[in-house]
Amino acid sequence: MKRYIFFVMAFCMAAIFFISNFAFALPSGPKLFKEYYCIDCHTLGHQGGTVGPDLSYVGKTKSFSWIKAQILNPDSHFILGEKKEINGKIYLTRMPGFAKTIPSSVVNKLAGYIKSFPYKRANLAYKKPPKGLLLFRADNCVACHRINGVGGTVGPNLSHIGKTKSLSWIETQIVAPSVHFTYGIPATINGHTYLVIMPELKNIPASQLNTIARYLESLK
């Protein structure tokens, strides 16, 4: 009998540990939706951007695995740069794939959160980010660069780039990185070595170039 109680207790403790791991290991769905800047382009519940479709009812028609695939690799559903009608509105398909920048546990949590709508209520306070940051994301700089912990690691962390680089240096780097770095050769920046592969962003309108560069220059 004693032994039986011991096993029941051990089982309960293991179960509590297991469940709490699931519940507390990751920030909540709404937090992640903000942290990975889905909210800049998408409304969920009441708040958010309008670059991409409102996601409040996606869970009604799309499966968990479809949503997951969309986050990891939107190319599997949409052709980048095409105009596409989604729920009666036309969108330019430009969602970046997050396969390299979001850990799979977070992708699962985000997909589950979106799938749970419209049955769950949103609780998202949304403050629109600076325009320069939105362009930084829309032009996919974020695939290679991190700012405050979000983004890729192919290129240097830009969280403090404004401390050492001027506005005009940053503008040149965006349209003509070869003025500063020799393509295809490793370069050491802040103690890390990177293969120089940053693409030239040739066709960016001057005002947008200035907006991104001013934003980066402001990061001290």
Residues that bind ligand HEC in the complex, under the rule CB under 6 A: 36-38, 40-42, 51-53, 55, 58, 67, 70-71, 74, 78, 86, 91, 93-96, 98, 110, 114, 136-141, 143-145, 154-156, 158, 161, 170, 173-174, 177, 181, 187, 189, 194, 196-199, 201, 212, 216
Q: How far is the CB of 35 from ligand HEC (least distance, A)?
A: 9
Contact assessment for residue 175 and residue 201, using Cβ atoms and an 8 Å cutoff = yes
Q: Which two tokens stand for residue 218?
A: 């402001």
Complex with ligand HEC: residue 67 or 122, whichever CB lies closer:
67
Q: How far is the CB of 120 from ligand HEC (least distance, A)?
A: 15
DSSP 29-81: HHHHHHHTTHHHH-EETTEE-SSS---TTHHHHS-HHHHHHHHH-GGGTS-TT
Burial 180-191, CB ≥16 within 10 A → b, else e: ebeeeeeeeeee
Complex with ligand HEC: residue 15 or 218, whichever CB lies closer:
218
Distance between CA atoms of residues 70 and 111, nearest Å: 9
Complex with ligand HEC: residue 47 or 93, whichever CB lies closer:
93
Q: What is the DSSP letter of 142?
A: G
Q: How far is the CB of 3 from ligand HEC (least distance, A)?
A: 49
Complex with ligand HEC: residue 30 or 52, whichever CB lies closer:
52
